[in-house]
Amino acid sequence: MTGQAEQSLLLDHVDMRMVAADTLDPAADRNAIVQLDPDHPGFRDAEYRARRNRIARIALEHQPGTPIPHAPYTDEEHEVWRLVREALEPAHGRHACAEYLECVEKLELPRDRIPQLRELSEKVQSISGFRLEPVAGLVEPRVFLESLAGGVFLSTQYIRHHSTPFYTPEPDVVHEILGHAVTLGGERFAELNRLVGEAVKRTKSAEALERLSRVYWFTIEFGVLRERGEIKAYGTGLLSSAGELEVLGQAELRPLDLEAASRQEYDPTNYQPVLYCADSFKAMFETLRDFLLRWER
């Protein structure tokens, strides 16, 4: 298998929350149910679809701030989690920034099963004050981003289909946990996420929201930095994808210019050919923090 077909299997996730706002239904609420397209790996699997519906129902019936019911994962789905962890751990050792690795150690994620959102939310909240709340599927970008201001991360609970353990066409619990939840277990990461949410709340136009979403994409989702002379990932989209991490060196690295990033087009369905690189974690944190604090559009 070569070319685009091979890449599609290695591309671990596509975070469709960060696509242009005008491509989603503006009336969609925080619990819009995921619809599987005919080319989705689980489209013809009746049991998988039924389980996705049950998991979606958990989010639809959940009252924010109350304990999150457990999702009904199968042994097959726990095996998907194990396979992804086995692929990601050595990739993290080579390519993840030190701040992320410290967060992984603090959360002590299980390797043999998918952690339930409730247990993970309690751990994250005890560290940074952020809590996880379940959603049934994709949410409109403004809703997703504004929730961060209140220390809430809207998370899916379903996991990708077992037939493609290293590919998912939408953000699943692997991306949510190994990407976002882990970083929210770090106080500086959590602070940046809150500032993103607050900046979104101050954003008035669709054009400005799109620009801010791109800043989020090229930092929180796909940010890289230099650490002891090496390029390391801090973006959740990179850190939840072994495929993305292994091709990190092929991307064009540009200095961390957030005004430029806010105007940079991107394709969420492919490896990112352009990444914005900070000189250090401290430089990234201060640059992004100051940019978000000044944001008023």
Q: Which residues are catalytic?
A: 175, 180, 221, 240
Report the 10 Å Cβ neighbour count for 91.
Answer: 19
Report residue 182: phi and psi, to 5°: -60, -45
CA distance 136 to 149: 21
Structure tokens at 209: 């929201």
**Residues 283/224, Cβ–Cβ less than 8 Å:** no
Q: Which two tokens stand for residue 77?
A: 């789905």
Find out whether 274 and 251 touch, Cβ atoms under 8 Å.
Answer: yes
Q: Using an 8 Å Cβ cutoff, are 24 and 209 in contact?
A: no
Helix axes 98-107, 75-95, angle to 10 degrees: 150
**HEC secondary structure over 137-153:** CCCCHHHHHHHHHCCEE
Residue with tokens 């959590």: 190
